[in-house]
Structure 1
Amino acid sequence: MIKIDSHLRVADPAAYVKTLVERHWRHFNPVDDGGKYTAKSAIEACRRLRQATGQTAPITSRGKHKGATYLQYYADGDSAKLRRQQDFLDYLLHNDGANLVQLYTARPDTLAAMATAIGALTKSGDFFKTDKGKLKQTEFGKRLSRDVFDYASFRSSQYCADLYRQLQFNQATCPYCNHSVLEIVQLHKGKDEAPMLKAYFQLDHYFAQVRHPYLALSFFNLIPSCGNCNAVDKLDAEFALHTHVHPFHEAFDDFYHFELSMRGMWGMVHEVQIVPRQSTTHRDGGVDAFRLRDKYAGYSALAIDLHRRFVAYEHCLKTEDAQTLRLFQDAVLHGMSLDKRDILRTNRGKMKRDLIRQFDVANALKID
């Protein structure tokens, strides 16, 4: 609900993330002592796939596709589809793989522009198809996901868990809902074995992997998230920067705030609402996609209690006495942080912070 960069407790978040992004490219594209990309690199895998598209000899020797050529197996015998695949791979490899580098390292707005450029070279059916109402990758999409953009191996690697530990998601909540806790745990399997990191959360592909397999390993397309937001609510829905807040690009906090609706002379509590800020015309489709209104409506009782405690101890804010202020802190703000940078570190941190700001009409707590 704040930008992931803003969540980082480091001296220079931009420089810190830049270092991680550069490391991300090098991890998937190692070089030898002479500075050349190794056979295991993604760029060399991409080159091998481009070469394979020109093969006319059979590529399978068994099963129902025995004797099939690349054209038959990966392009359904459609020469126009094969040409589009080649154009796509040439786009990635152009200028010594400059566009491939961008796919791994570019910010969300650049990734969106590249997806548009790739869309002009290809058709959606080149990467995925609909089967019984569900999106599934084509054979070409599967090969990209297996040979060039191997997300499965990345997700099970120690590098993956360590990357998100460095992004401080070992002490965070889901950026989409700010409710579910994300954990990275050090597992000890045996006294003679080195401990391993395990990330107990999912990675959402903001631009869906089934639709865009070439963005499967893009640093800024991978959003640490909870299973409810990723696997239950979002699934393969198509998100866009102008319709859905991207946690590496914008902050939900800049566009919406939580508010306790009240009615009656004495402030009878009604429900927790998600309200657009007056200063914005932005509408985030994520509010509906992640069912945030429904999820937070269930916390009305918590909000009622917070309001009751604030009213009971509000007088403490009218003094500079340290002991009295500490009484307010303990009675009202226990377990909370009013620092915007801590929103993702605190379960429902944004809702609690916004409600305190609403109750504190005089802004004695100086919450921005």
Structure 2
Amino acid sequence: MINIAQYFTEEKRNSHIKGVIGHLNRKFLHTAVRYKVKPKYYFEKRFYKALLIDREFLKRIIFATYDEIESFESSDSYKAHRLFFLLCLPSELRNSEPFSTHFGLESNCFPRELIGQNIEEISAEVRVNCKKVFDYGSFSKISRAEIYDRGQWNAYNYLNEFMPKTCPYCNIQLITRLEDCLEDGGLHYEMRPALDHFLSKNKFPFFALTVSNLIPSCKECNTDLKLEKNFKDPRHINPMGQSFEGIAKFDIKLRDDSDILQAIESIYNYGELNTGSIKIFLDTTDTASDQNISDFNLENRYNNHIENVRFFLEKLPKVAKEKIKSYQDLFEIDDFETALQRFIEHSLNPEDHKDVIFSIFKRDLISKYCDL
């Protein structure tokens, strides 16, 4: 897990909020009826009025941190518009704690317009409007036949100069964004990685455009493994602000304990490590990290790709100060760090890790096993 929040610059924040504001204006103020959202109930109108008028309120939703989206029921925004948020939730979530308790309190003082009405039908109406307002589809779906420019608010421009080159959930798969520059200076978008909703946009539609809820990710993590899993309860690690650093570390162990003498002899006498006898695992006592490791099936996936790090593992026992200095002298390399990076074929610069597959795995093993 890699923290990518630091790469979402102030310029990106300003661009995104400007795009969201323009999108909201079209939804509520556009002259074409098909674009408009027409809230029916007073508590809806009150919420959307706050979105349009109070920029700070809008920003608290769009720029809510990973902690705030996971515990939003404790926020002032939620408390001020609790009935709206509760009726946006699907019934199975609304009927779970703490929301069921909150809804019980709200039902004791329903506004007159809700008394005697079918609450599930009203909730369905509210959810439909909420999905239209926080409309991820308008943000993400672009006709391949059309030409766009860098200034437009869409998922392609959102990811430009922000997304890492590897999936921050797994650091196994490369993710790609491509576009064609046209002769007139315009752009033709070709492909981009998935933007995973850390909290499902179907369960929490009001967070569909929230920055910390939009994680650029690979197909395996987003489509094949995560799906609609609830990352709020139990709590998970969110790469828009969190990482495994300090709470979960990669390590290796023998697949069969009976191979230990042979492994020691190979390392001691020949400086070799038989990767066929090695198993990769992630060591953590943190429950949130453990949830990510389990849901993204990280240990099995890393072991399935162990051949991709075979040369690194074979070099690992040979990494010692005196050997790297000999390598440095032999190839006339100016400094020790450069020699080390060339020898192990891995950058020691943390800024590079988000763009290189298996970089966190390599970092952890270098830190533990290399005499530097």
- TM-score by length of structure 2 reads 0.69
Please give the per-residue CA displacement for 1:181-232, whole angstroms capped at 9, x wherever unaligned. Answer: 11111225x7568332344210111111001111111122111111111111
Deviation at 1:233, TM superposition (A): 0.8
- Match of residue 292 from structure 2: 286
Indicate the residue corresponding to 2:66 in structure 1.
108
Q: List alignment gaps of at least 5 residues for structure 1.
A: 9-15, 31-36, 55-85, 131-136
Q: Which residue of 2 aligns with 1:215?
A: 207
CA contact (8 A) 1:29 1:42 kept: no
After TM superposition, the structure 1 = structure 2 runs for residues 1-368 of structure 1, keeping only pairs within 5 Å, are: 1-6=1-6, 8=7, 17-30=9-22, 39-40=25-26, 49=37, 52-54=39-41, 86-87=42-43, 89-94=45-50, 96-97=53-54, 98-115=56-73, 117=78, 120-121=82-83, 126-128=88-90, 138-146=124-132, 148-156=133-141, 159=153, 160-167=155-162, 169=163, 172-187=165-180, 194-240=186-232, 243-262=235-254, 264-265=260-261, 266-267=263-264, 269-276=277-284, 283-312=289-318, 314=320, 315-319=322-326, 321=329, 323=332, 329-330=341-342, 332-334=343-345, 336-360=346-370, 362=371, 364=372
Contact 1:22 1:105 in 2 (8 A): no
How has the CA–CA distance of structure 1 residues 258 and 197 changed in structure 2, closer, same or farther, with 3 Å as cutoff? same
Alignment partners' CA distance in 2, 1:344 and 1:338: 12
Q: How many residues were matched structurally?
A: 300
Shift of 1:350: 0.7
Higher strand share: 1
- AA aligned to 2:366 is I
Query: Secondary structure of 1:172's match?
Result: coil
SS at structure 1 position matched to 2:179: strand
Q: Assess, with a 3 A threshold, how the Cα gap between structure 1 residues 161 and 308 changes in structure 2: closer, same or farther.
A: same
Whichever residue aligns with residue 61 of structure 2, its letter is L
Q: Helix, strand or coil: the match of 1:166?
A: coil
Q: In angstroms, what is the RMSD of aligned CA positions? A: 3.4
Q: Is the 8 A contact 1:202 1:226 kept in 2?
A: yes
Contact 1:258 1:355 in 2 (8 A): yes
**Gapped runs of 5+ residues in structure 2?**
93-122, 143-151, 265-273
* Deviation string, structure 1 residues 67-98 (Cα, Å, up to 9, x no partner): xxxxxxxxxxxxxxxxxxx4355245348334
Q: Aligned partners of 2:138, 2:19: CA distance in 1, in Å?
A: 12
Kept after mapping to 1: 8 A contact 2:176/2:192 = yes
Structure-2 change in CA distance of 1:110 and 1:38 (3 Å): closer
Indicate the percent of aligned positions where both proteins have the same amino acid.
20
Question: Residue 2 of structure 1: CA displacement?
Answer: 2.3
TM-score when normalising by structure 1:
0.69
Higher helix share: 2
Q: CA, structure 1 residues 199+237, in 2 after alignment: closer, same or farther (shift >3 Å)?
A: same
Q: CA deviation at 1:327?
A: 6.5
Give the counterpart letter for 2:179 in structure 1: Q
Contact 1:127 1:138 (8 Å CA) reproduced? no
Give the whole-Å Cα distance in 2 for the aligned partners of 1:92 and 1:284.
38
